[in-house]
A and B are shown apart, each in its own frame.
Chain A
Amino acid sequence: AQSVTQPDIHITVSEGASLELRCNYSYGATPYLFWYVQSPGQGLQLLLKYFSGDTLVQGIKGFEAEFKRSQSSFNLRKPSVHWSDAAEYFCAVGRGGSYIPTFGRGTSLIVHP
């Protein structure tokens, strides 16, 4: 069965530092992969998604993610973190014929000034 693992429960970075959030997936074929963000008191918002084509995907808010089949990974990156990026980040894989996003447990990002 398809699954997603986010190995880091919490990540702490300083404002202005670079960021990488890890995501590993388990899937037999080419996966459909997503990253979502959940800010405090707000709903989930899609940051970016990968279905095919270029393995480096650009998203909103300056985020990007790279699909690496050899490592079964889809890590999220941002070159310079802002305090407003503090939130919960979820990686998801599209499951079944309807590609239902199936989520990992999330990584909580803490940004120090």
Chain B
Amino acid sequence: GAGVSQSPSNKVTEKGKDVELRCDPISGHTALYWYRQSLGQGLEFLIYFQGNSAPDKSGLPSDRFSAERTGGSVSTLTIQRTQQEDSAVYLCASLRGDVRYNEQFFGPGTRLTVL
């Protein structure tokens, strides 16, 4: 497809379970970002990839959160031992090159609900 895709679109899980969220960026986009959007909290930066490396992972809220990117394309955000406060919409964005000269394109998000 032409845009950023994320799967699943919705995920309901029980507290303590692990979840994996997937992001397929636009082909050729070297930069990839993960954000979390909680109700009334705006968008919280989680991690940034340039190619397969993550030069900035300062936004990951705890060691239960991790992310990887393979082949300079697909990225997976993993949350271990989920907690109720992890419930949010997780957004992925991709970009060709530098954000100063090009536009971030956002995916539709994955809505995570932890019961």
Contacts and interface: CB of A to CB of B under 8 A. Distances in A.
A98 to B, nearest CB: 6
A104 B42 contact: yes
Interface string B94-106: 0000111001101
A100 interface: yes
Contacts of A100: 33, 45, 48, 56, 99
A90 B100 contact: no
A28 interface: no
A102 B104 CA distance: 12
Contacts of A51: 100
A106 B33 CA distance: 19
B100 A105 contact: no
Interface of B: 4, 31, 33, 35, 40-45, 48, 50, 55-56, 91, 93, 98-100, 103-104, 106-109
Given A43-B91, A43-B108, A99-B99, A105 B56 contact: no
Given A98-B48, A102-B45, 16 more contacts: A43-B4, A43-B91, A44-B104, A44-B106, A92-B43, A94-B99, A98-B50, A98-B56, A99-B99, A99-B100, A100-B33, A100-B56, A101-B99, A103-B35, A103-B44, A106-B43
A14 to B, nearest CB: 25
Contacts of B43: 44, 90, 92, 103, 106
A51 B40 CA distance: 28
B99 A105 contact: no
Contacts of B55: 98
B51 to A, nearest CB: 12
B40 A105 contact: yes
B8 to A, nearest CB: 16
A45 B44 CA distance: 16
B98 A99 contact: yes
Nearest to A103: B43
B100 to A, nearest CB: 5
